[in-house]
DNA sequence: ATGTCACATCTAATGTGA
């Protein structure tokens, strides 16, 4: 009896200590908000309800001076951003301190489109990316998209480490497989699903990255983006182009990855739904 | 081709990007 009490007391104390000092999980989210100013109320409500540890945001469509910083701070999030007037713009919001922030590839190339920011938080290197849309196969924007993906692969080779927890959170503007497209035959060869951009994504993943959603749901048919037009969401005519890719040490800690399609509902929704990956605490 | 958002601009209808 005495032995039991001692064991029990020690265990209870250890659990209390664990609760006080550690969290059981780390949740990292990514969401293309399609204008943070137009989506401020939505973003506030979503953050307040879901409370992820980290949220990567794409398509802010505003310069850093126009960001609703108070909204994030009120909810207990630090914010680092790379903004741009009208187009693009990426940010990372985190409940833990953000350090070692890098804005842009910093490879001596063109960084005038605000599509890349990376920071360390909670022991994870988090990159927030907005991959160029490409517009249409074969045009200049499409070529830029392919170059951008190749450039990201070079960034991994030059600046990332396989033995460190790394999350690439992005609107990739590429659907990887037939499962990620509502009508693969219709999308075959089209921008967002063409062979060259899928090959570029394959090259990227070959560095050593796991698609968190697909790892958890090998046969899943959830989408993350639905066109605003033609009742696409109502008909569930979507694509899964928003993904969290994790390096091996982080992927080993993956417990779930879900797409919050509820957030796509309503007239004032973004055309993208948030994706949330859950990892055991490091 | 169509549809819908968000943003910008020679503030009102139009162009661009998605």
Res A106 pLDDT > 90: no
Task: Give the confidence band of A3 by pLDDT, cuts at 50, 70, 90.
Answer: very low
Distance separating alpha carbons of residues A219 and A221, to the nearest angstrom: 7
CA of A226 to C1' of B3 (A): 13
Q: In the structure, what pLDDT confidence band is assigned to residue A16 with cuts at 50, 70 and 90?
A: low
Q: How far apart are CA A240 and CA A187, in angstroms?
A: 13
Report strand pairing: A254-259 vs A166-171.
unpaired
**Domain-by-domain residue ranges, chain A?**
26-280
Q: What share of chain A is helix, strand, coil (3-state, %, to 5)?
A: 30, 25, 40
**Mean pLDDT of the A72-77 span:** 98
Q: Note whether A28 and A279 are within 8 A (CB).
A: yes
Above 80 in pLDDT, residue A17? no
Q: Do A125 and A99 touch, CB atoms closer than 8 A? A: no
Q: Is the pTM of this model over 0.75?
A: yes
Decide: A32 and A171 in contact? Cβ < 8 Å.
yes
Question: How far apart (Å, rounded) are the C-alpha atoms in residues A10 and A45?
Answer: 40
| Residue A219 exposed, middle or buried by CB count within 10 Å (0-12, 13-18, 19+) | exposed
Question: What is the CA A85 to C1' B9 distance in angstroms?
Answer: 14
pLDDT exceeds 50 at position A5: no
For the cut 70, the answer to whether the pLDDT of residue A19 exceeds it is no
Q: Are A154 and A142 in contact (CB under 8 A)?
A: no
Examine the pLDDT at A14 and tell me if it is beyond 70.
no
Nucleotide nearest to A113 (CA to C1'): B17
A258: number of Cβ within 10 Å: 19
The pLDDT of residue A7 is above 60: no
Protein-proximal nucleotides of chain B (any atom < 7 Å from a CB): 2-8, 17-18
At A138 the pLDDT is 96
Distances from the Cα of A244 to the Cα of A8, A32, A79, A124, A261, angstroms? 40, 12, 19, 13, 16
Estimate in Å the CA A79 to C1' B6 gap, whole number. 23
Strand partners, A171: A130, A242
pLDDT of residue A75: 98
Q: What is the mean pLDDT of residues A8-36?
A: 74
Contact A43, A71 (CB under 8 A): yes
Whether A130 is catalytic: yes
> What tens digit of pLDDT does each residue of A41-70 get?
999 999 999 999 999 999 999 999 999 999
Q: What is the 3-state secondary structure (H, E, C) of A56-124?
A: EEECCCCCHHHCCHHHHHHCCCEEEEECCCCCCCEEEEECCCCEEEEECCCCCCCCCCCCEEEEEECCE
| Percentage of chain A lying above the pLDDT 90 cut | 89
- For residue A76, pLDDT over 60 is answered with yes
Choosing from A53, A77, A171, A242, which is the catalytic residue? Answer: A171
Cite residues whose beta carbon is less than 7 Å from strand B.
A 34-35, 37-39, 61-62, 85-87, 132-133, 135, 141, 228-230, 267-268, 270
- Whole-angstrom Cα distance, residue A178 to residue A218? 12
The C1' atom of B11 and the CA atom of A87 lie apart, in whole Å, by 22
Catalytic-residue membership of A171: yes
Question: Tens digits of per-residue pLDDT, A178-204?
Answer: 999 999 999 999 999 999 999 999 999
What pLDDT digit, counting tens, does each position of A234-250 carry?
A: 999 999 999 999 999 99
User: Which one of the listed residues A53, A77, A130, A223 is annotated catalytic?
Assistant: A130
* DSSP H or E segment with residue A67: none
At A115-159, the pLDDT tens digits run 999 999 999 999 999 999 999 999 999 999 999 999 999 999 999
Q: Can you tell me whether residue A28 is helix, strand or coil?
A: strand
Residues A154-176 pLDDT 10s: 999 999 999 999 999 999 999 99
| CATH fold for the domain made of A26-280 | Deoxyribonuclease I; Chain A (3.60.10)
Give, in Å, how far the C1' of B15 lies from the CA of A246.
39
> Tens of pLDDT along A209-238?
999 999 999 999 999 999 999 999 999 999
């Amino acid at each position: 009896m005495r032995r039991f009490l001692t064991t029990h007391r020690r265990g209870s104390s250890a659990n209390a200590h664990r609760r006080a000092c550690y969290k059981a999980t780390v949740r990292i989210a990514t969401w293309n908000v399609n204008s943070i100013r137009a989506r401020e109320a939505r973003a506030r409500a979503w953050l307040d309800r879901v409370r992820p540890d980290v949220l990567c945001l794409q398509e802010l469509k505003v310069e850093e001076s126009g960001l609703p910083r108070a909204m994030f701070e009120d909810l207990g999030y630090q914010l680092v951003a790379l903004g741009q007037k009208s187009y693009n713009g990426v940010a990372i919001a985190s409940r833990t301190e953000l350090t070692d922030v890098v804005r842009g590839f910093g490879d001596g190339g063109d960084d005038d489109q605000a599509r890349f920011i990376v920071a360390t938080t909670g022991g994870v290197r988090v990159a927030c990316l907005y991959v160029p849309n490409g517009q249409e196969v074969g045009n200049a924007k499409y070529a830029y998209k392919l170059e951008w993906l190749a450039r990201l692969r070079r960034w991994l080779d030059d600046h990332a480490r396989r033995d460190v927890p790394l999350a690439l959170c992005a609107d990739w503007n590429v659907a990887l497989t037939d499962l990620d497209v509502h009508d693969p035959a219709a999308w075959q060869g089209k921008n967002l699903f063409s062979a060259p951009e899928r090959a570029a994504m394959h090259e990227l993943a070959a560095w050593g990255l796991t698609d968190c959603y697909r790892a958890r749901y090998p046969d899943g048919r959830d989408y993350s983006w639905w066109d605003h037009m033609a009742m696409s969401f109502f008909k569930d005519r979507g694509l899964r182009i928003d993904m969290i890719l994790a390096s091996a040490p982080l992927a080993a800690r993956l417990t779930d990855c879900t797409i919050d399609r509820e957030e796509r509902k309503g007239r004032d929704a973004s055309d993208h739904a948030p994706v949330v990956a859950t990892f055991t605490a490091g």
